[in-house]
Chain A
Amino acid sequence: MSGKTLSNKARTTMWSVIFVYALTVAVNLGEFWPFSIYPMFSQAGNPWSRSVVREVPPGDTLSWDTTALADIPGQPYGVRSGGVDPIDLANFVSKTKEWDQDRVEALQLMLLADPPKDPLRLMVYRVRARLTETDSVAITATPYVLVGTDLAPDESHLNPELR
């Protein structure tokens, strides 16, 4: 096959893919894997939201108040031990608009898919941060939901403001 024919084929294919690429990202909010406009880190300076999990002994008194991240009660708990991606957890918590029984069950399945033998209670916090006027980063944590191997996954273990 001549070089010109090959070039023509390649050119036609490339323009076709570019057209499909542009069309799919245009009608799918910039994402249609593996096509993307790659918007990561574009929203610089915006407040962000993440999640952390703390292990809570069954007898402890629960507080649903927002606190500074450094002051949250309970023992550190790494979700990696349960095979969970922390960004999945953060998105699950921040992007859930309505908390109902299904959402609590799904969160319990995510965190306790392989439950340990001993009873385990986990408090899931939503962590928020923003730049302050004094050029520092303020970080706060709000308890959202309590899940546990000895708890039924229902709405009674949600922060009252989410019910």
Chain B
Amino acid sequence: MTTKASFFGNVWENLFDFGRPDSRGQRIFRRVFEAFIGAGSIWLAWYWGEYTLRISDIVLELGFARYIDISFMHGNQLPIWNAWAITALVVLGFLRIDRWVPFGRWAYMLATLLLMLQYAARFVLGEIPHSSNLVGMGIMGFALAELIFRDRTEGGRFAIGFSYFFIGLGYTSAALSKLVARGLTWPDGRHLWLWVNEKAVDEMARSGSVELNFVQQLAVDHWWIATAFLAFGLLTEACAWLVWFRKPRYLVMWGVMALHMGIWVTMDILFALSVYEILLLGLPWAAFIDRLFPEKTSLS
């Protein structure tokens, strides 16, 4: 009988690859993924920071704003200074400043905390977005790896495994939330009709006009097609925890990618940063690099 402990022991072994032979492809991929997470964090810091300049009132507190009066970030240039600080810390973290500066390994962790502050200052108007959560967990993974693992190879492996784990947990949690709220009737196609109209109104507000695309029209015209879209989405999310295991990982990641493409065409919502991250984690890039540029081995 499989015990709970051995199940998670198997999960950790599948996620982190400790002790497995390293390769040029893996080294390059780890740095590319780290660069993506760093660049994504910097982009969020500036995107949120510049938007925060136009906020003068608080409708709903999220994150740190539930515990501190976040209004000190409004009506001044602090969000921009914070964006500069996050940029500097991420760049310094990527350049491994601990070689020259004491406590340099804290750079990513400080960047993570300041990014959480930037989020709390930006999202006070009622919107609760989830498009940035994967990048947020990604930078947290690298922050923990820097603090806990002295060896950068093992630290990088931990950070990537950390991202896979919370991708699996996040999407599975999304499926559970839907089942808890609506039960097995969640995929009823009429629910998609409401969302298609909701997003059409968003587009009308954004650009002044709107026209349904072919797929949206198909879903609105045929209940069973709308139901099939939602059923596929729910099933994909419910299986997302399988990314914790090597064998089904890429298949599940492509299922999640298809889910995002479906959300894009039916509801006009593109979680761009999440999609890029899934694209990076959803293909065996390290093996591709190793095949294209094999390392020279010497026979002794």
Contact = CB atoms under 8 A, between A and B. Distances in A.
A14 B194 contact: no
Contacts of A96: 59
Interface stretch (B91-99, B199-207, B291-299): B199-207
Main secondary structure of the interface of A (DSSP, over half): mixed
A105 interface: yes
Given A6-B18, A10-B161, A102-B57, A129 B198 contact: yes
Contact of A129 (B54, B127, B128, B197): B197
B7 to A, nearest CB: 13
Interface in B6-22: 8-9, 12-13, 15-16, 18-19
A6 B149 contact: yes
A31 B66 CA distance: 11
Nearest to A135: B190
A145 to B, nearest CB: 14
B234 to A, nearest CB: 10
Counting contact residues on chain B (CB < 8 A from A), the size range is 35 or more
A16 to B, nearest CB: 9
B46 interface: no
A3 interface: yes
Interface residues of A, number: 65
A11 B59 CA distance: 39
Nearest to A16: B144
Contacts of A7: 12-13, 16, 18
Contacts of A14: 12, 162, 165
B133 A33 contact: yes
Contacts of A37: 173, 177
B140 interface: yes
24 contacts: A6-B149, A7-B13, A28-B66, A34-B136, A34-B140, A42-B174, A42-B186, A44-B185, A45-B188, A50-B201, A50-B202, A52-B201, A53-B205, A76-B204, A76-B208, A78-B209, A87-B202, A90-B126, A91-B60, A106-B56, A110-B55, A131-B193, A135-B223, A139-B201
Interface of A: 1, 3, 6-7, 9-11, 13-14, 17, 28, 31-46, 48, 50-53, 69, 76-80, 83-92, 94-96, 102-103, 105-106, 109-110, 113, 127, 129-131, 135, 137, 139
